[in-house]
Amino acid sequence: MHELSIATDIIDSIKGKINVPESLNKVRISASPLSGISYESLTFCFKELCTTKGYTNAILEINIVAVKMTCMQCDNHYESPMLDTYCPVCGNSNYRITDVTPFNIDFIEVEE
């Protein structure tokens, strides 16, 4: 369950930036389908860790970023939020991944 270590890393990365743990409202992350993350599991782990660390008001918002692909048959360039996909032009399922957004903490929202 690598989601627990990801949730731990998220909390560790924001820990020094927030003086009052209860003031943390939201953490927004971006990840692609290639990250291999179970978003449901990550949300659960994040919530449980926040409770034990005092970030009682924090929620995790996950932005799933589409993967950029090129169809191997018709050379169409397209984006998809999942990997099990077909070219929207010709219907072919063979594609080449051309760009993937890395996992990122986009922002943290703190109550003033």
19 vs 108 pLDDT, higher one: 108
Tokens 């782990």 belong to 45
Q: Is the dihedral of CA 33, 3, 13, 20 positive or negative?
A: positive
Q: What is the pLDDT of residue 57?
A: 92
Which residues span the domain enclosing 52? 2-110
What's 32's DSSP letter?
-
> Measured between alpha carbons, how far is residue 46 from residues 38, 54, 72, 91, 96 in Å?
12, 12, 39, 38, 33
**What is the tally of structural domains in the chain?**
1
Using one digit for the tens of pLDDT, what is the confidence trace for 60-107? 999 999 999 999 999 999 999 888 899 999 999 999 999 998 999 999
Q: Is the pTM of this model over 0.75?
A: yes
Nearest CA to 6 among 41, 57, 55, 34? 41
